[in-house]
Amino acid sequence: MSSTKHLLHPELQVMAEAPIITEINDNNLKIVRKTLDDQRPPLVNPESYKIKRDEILISQDEGPDVRCLLYVPENKQASKRAAYLHIHGGGYILGSPEGSDLQNLVTASKLGIVIISVDYRLAPENPIPAPLDDCYAALAWLHENSESLSIDKSRIGIGGESAGGGLAASLAIKARDLGQYNICYQSLTYPMLDDTTGTDENPGDPLVGEFVWTREFNKYAWNCYLQGSKREAPQVPSRLEKFDDLPPSWMFTVSLDLFRDENINYAHELMRAGVSCDLVVYPGACHAFQQIETSELAIRYQEDFLNALRRGLKV
């Protein structure tokens, strides 16, 4: 197949020319993690955003403590505020909350909301259900500590990017089915939802998945995450049979992302079930295009993401 580079927006061409990761497997996974950690910029001073950032540990009955970064606006409000549970990306095998620190500082500052970002356990060392259990523990903690944080429990939303978006979709399903904790909104940025994407069973459109996150990466990551477990919802959101009563959703994807069609299909299922769902598809972009922060599309995304979250959390 010929390259799809010509379909990338001119400002995003560098993403085709200089990939950060060229291979992921059992032998180099730790090296890839270290490479990404080493390339991450130092944490920003939260005071410049008038945000208090704390590292917290959340205990759970079955499993280790869950480390999270908590962002709380310094300004005191007369009324209670909204909250957002953020889940980082990385194919279920990479990443940390620190990689999304600047985005969460900006979001907490501009919207005046509390944010908790979860350092969930990664596969393959910790396959399902461990990552989702960690995210559910963070959701429970937000609800149980809502009074002390001045949070309106009816305005707690969730979201994330890539695998983080996949975990957010899984969390929404689990929370709906258990009925313990309300979620008012889910923000899904090119979420990783379907374990069959990129396989021989479901190779997908040849125009997607050339850059950043490939079919080979996807197959490896899903196998690390699911291992020998049954492939079903909530851990694999695309396998869900009943979409009713899930929270209002914002589904964002881009034309060259490997996840494009699974994202569009998931949004259609939500709509068919009567769930309010925005579906946004940008042309000329690939997975993780926001890394080119000064690009026209990254700036547009930032505005659209914040405006959608503002609506969803009723800020």
Burial 22-36, CB ≥16 within 10 A → b, else e: eebeeeebeebbeeb
CA distance 313 to 315: 5
Q: How many Å apart are CA 314 and CA 250, to the nearest integer?
A: 14
Cα 299 to Cα 285: distance, rounded to the nearest angstrom: 13
Catalytic residue among 119, 134, 194, 257: 257
Q: Known catalytic residue: 295?
A: no
- Composition of the chain by helix, strand, coil, percent to 5: 40, 20, 45
- In the residue annotation, 162 being an active-site residue is answered as yes
Residue among 191, 212, 203 nearest 259 (CA):
191
257 carries an active-site annotation: yes
Cα–Cα distance between 239 and 293 in angstroms, integer? 34
- Return the half-sphere exposure (C-beta side, CA atoms, 13 A cut-off) of residue 283: 2
C-alpha to C-alpha distance for 104 and 172, rounded to whole angstroms: 20
| Torsion over CA: 112, 113, 119, 124 (sign) | negative
Given 119, 134, 287, 295, which residue is catalytic?
A: 287
Q: Which of 109, 162, 238, 295 is catalytic?
A: 162
What positions carry a catalytic annotation?
162, 257, 287
